[in-house]
């Protein structure tokens, strides 16, 4: 799109129609006051709704960028949730048709071009609230009339949704912190487990290689997965190669196969790194650390200790910068800068890479591939960086759909304090807690 128009797609509401065969996204483009109804398939609508918390407090922006999961032949789109100055990106699976629609919107250079897109219908909310503009040619008028009737039905649903959001906003004003936490957890707890499309297609399934710690006292995992035994005592000195891990494919990964869960820790090394690693080691489970280059330079001993204990180290950029928009050379420097220090400290560079803030665009993905990096995203986020609250972190873990998840955490005292209870809970769910490679 042009520099002045259409860069931002504000997502106002998501609704399924009466038949349940499809649904609609209510959106606004850039700074326009005009609202549009975007027709979408049922699977995409349900997957998107599963990551939304329409509480009237947060705003959502839809990204035109998608990532291809070549293993499952599934496309992954992203929506960004914002509140004040904080923003978090959430992935959701989308159909090939929806991806094609995103590509069409991305190519628009002028607002008038939106009128030619068959999946969009303009909503006149000033003088005629329930009238949608006919954007088809005269020869397609009968088809458009049918679409108009469907859109009118959808508008009724959207109106009901707006009233519901208003009521929720009024009620939540009495206790914002409590309502935000509960509503976030409820969406993940209710939508993800009951939606097969979300559970299966948003998980990027890599080829799996699991190295299991061998112990005659442990119980192997069931459910047709590779047998694991991660029972390790405090005094155990198991070789580092026996830590359980999953070997990721090249490209972008958001989740794991069913039966596995990965705990990942961002923004280190820090004063908490070794303590986090010690807890993981005590329980005999895997873990993955994504280090920032400037912190690697400050704390080489922490890096060495974690590496020698068999835990994976990935790069989280050199300075924790937002990568989209950087010049090519600066982008490469952010991706490879930490490797110079890692090679001096542990004798090897990092293969895993996690972009700061989850900010991933096509160029960042392309350059990462050229540099031989595997991009590791996530599909579960307790927002521990925001709450810094042990109880809220644990509550989120216990209410989320854990199987197949990559959980993003950040090095802090709250994470240290919550980690034993998190690990115990996940192991009681018969899940294999693995590192990533």
Residue 374's pLDDT is 95
**d(Cα 158, Cα 155) in Å, to the nearest integer?**
5
With both helix axes pointing from N to C terminus, report the angle between 300-308 and 328-346 in degrees, rounded to the nearest 10: 70
190 or 79: whose pLDDT is higher?
Answer: 79
387-399 pLDDT, tens digit per residue, is: 899 999 999 999 9
pLDDT tier for residue 154 given thresholds of 50, 70 and 90: low
- The DSSP bridge partners found for residue 302 are none
Taking residues 43-70, report their average pLDDT: 84
Choice among 43-47, 138-142, 286-290 with the minimum mean pLDDT:
138-142
In this prediction, residue 411 carries a pLDDT of 97
pLDDT score for 355 = 96
State residue 362's pLDDT score: 87
Which pLDDT score, from 0 to 100, does residue 125 have? 53
| 8 A C-beta contact, residue 242 and residue 260 | no
Which segment of 68-72, 114-118, 288-292 scores lowest on mean pLDDT? 68-72
Residue with more model confidence, 251 or 149:
251
pLDDT band at residue 54 under the 50/70/90 scheme = confident
Pairwise CA distance, residues 85 & 92, whole Å: 23
For 85-202, list the strands marked E by DSSP.
86-94, 120-124, 131-132
Q: Residue 337 — very low, low, confident or very high, per pLDDT cuts 50/70/90?
A: very high
pLDDT band at 327 (very low <50, low <70, confident <90, very high): very high
Q: What is the sign of the dihedral through the CA atoms of 402, 403, 408 and 410?
A: positive
pLDDT for 81 equals 85
20-29, 73-82, 263-272, 300-309: range with lowest mean pLDDT: 73-82
pLDDT in tens, 3-52: 334 468 999 999 888 777 789 999 998 757 789 999 999 999 988 988 88
Residues 24, 37 contacting (CB under 8 angstroms): yes
Inform me whether the pLDDT recorded for 288 exceeds 70: yes
Q: What is the mean pLDDT of residues 308-312?
A: 95
CB 27 within 8 A of CB 9: yes
Closest CA to 313 of 282, 285, 286: 286
| H or E element at residue 353 | strand 352-353
The pLDDT mean for the chain works out to 76
Tell me the pLDDT tens digit for each residue of 173-220: 444 333 333 333 333 333 333 333 333 333 333 334 443 332 223 333
Two tokens, residue 204: 């990027």
Percent of the residues in the chain that have a pLDDT greater than 70, as a whole number: 69
pLDDT at 290 over 70: yes
Residue 127 has pLDDT above 80, yes or no: no
Higher-pLDDT residue of 188, 116: 116
Q: 55-64, 154-163, 316-325, 356-365: which has the minimum mean pLDDT?
A: 154-163
- In the structure, what pLDDT confidence band is assigned to residue 150 with cuts at 50, 70 and 90? low
The pLDDT of 275-285, averaged and rounded, is 97
Kindly tell me if the per-residue pLDDT of 99 is higher than 60.
yes
Contacts of 94 (CB under 8 A, 6+ apart): 44, 47, 48, 66, 75, 76, 77, 102
Cα separations in angstroms, 75 against 31, 78, 366: 28, 10, 16
């Amino acid at each position: 799109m042009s520099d002045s128009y259409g860069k931002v797609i504000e997502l106002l509401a998501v609704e399924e129609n009466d038949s349940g065969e499809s649904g609609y996204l209510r959106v606004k483009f850039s700074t326009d006051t005009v609202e549009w109804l975007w027709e979408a398939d049922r699977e995409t609508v349900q997957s998107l709704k599963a990551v939304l918390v329409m509480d009237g407090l947060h705003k959502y922006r839809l990204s035109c960028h998608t990532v291809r999961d070549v293993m499952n032949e599934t496309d992954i789109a992203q929506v960004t949730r914002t509140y004040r100055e904080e923003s978090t990106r959430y992935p959701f699976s989308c159909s090939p048709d929806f991806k094609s629609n995103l590509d069409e919107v991305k190519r628009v250079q002028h607002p008038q071009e939106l009128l030619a897109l068959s999946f969009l219908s303009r909503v006149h909310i000033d003088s005629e609230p329930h009238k949608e503009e006919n954007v088809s040619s005269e020869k397609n008028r009968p088809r458009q009339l049918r679409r108009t009737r469907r859109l009118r039905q959808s508008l009724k649903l959207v109106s009901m949704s707006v009233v519901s959001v208003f009521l929720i906003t009024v009620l939540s004003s009495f206790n914002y912190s409590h309502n935000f936490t509960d509503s976030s957890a409820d969406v993940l707890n209710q939508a993800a487990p009951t939606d097969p499309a979300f559970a299966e297609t948003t998980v990027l399934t890599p080829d799996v290689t699991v190295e299991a710690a061998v112990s005659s006292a442990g119980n192997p995992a069931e459910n047709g997965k590779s047998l694991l035994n991660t029972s390790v005592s405090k005094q155990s000195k198991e070789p580092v190669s026996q830590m359980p891990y999953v070997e990721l494919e090249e490209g972008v990964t958001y989740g794991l196969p069913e039966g596995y869960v990965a705990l990942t820790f961002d923004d280190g090394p820090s004063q908490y790194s070794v303590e986090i690693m010690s807890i993981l080691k005590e329980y005999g489970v895997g873990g993955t650390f994504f280090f920032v280059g400037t912190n690697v330079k400050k704390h080489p001993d922490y890096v060495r200790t974690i590496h020698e204990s068999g835990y994976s180290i990935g790069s989280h950029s050199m300075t924790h910068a937002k990568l989209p928009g950087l010049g090519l050379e600066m982008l490469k420097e952010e991706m490879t800068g930490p490797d110079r220090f890692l090679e001096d400290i542990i004798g090897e560079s990092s293969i895993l890479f996690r972009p700061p803030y989850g900010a991933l665009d096509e160029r960042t993905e392309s350059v990462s591939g050229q540099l031989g990096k595997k991009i590791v995203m996530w599909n579960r986020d307790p927002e521990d960086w925001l709450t810094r609250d042990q109880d809220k972190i644990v509550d989120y873990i216990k209410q989320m759909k854990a199987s197949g998840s990559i959980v993003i955490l950040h090095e802090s005292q709250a994470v240290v304090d919550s980690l034993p209870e998190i690990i115990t809970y996940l192991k009681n769910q018969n899940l294999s807690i693995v590192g990533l490679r």
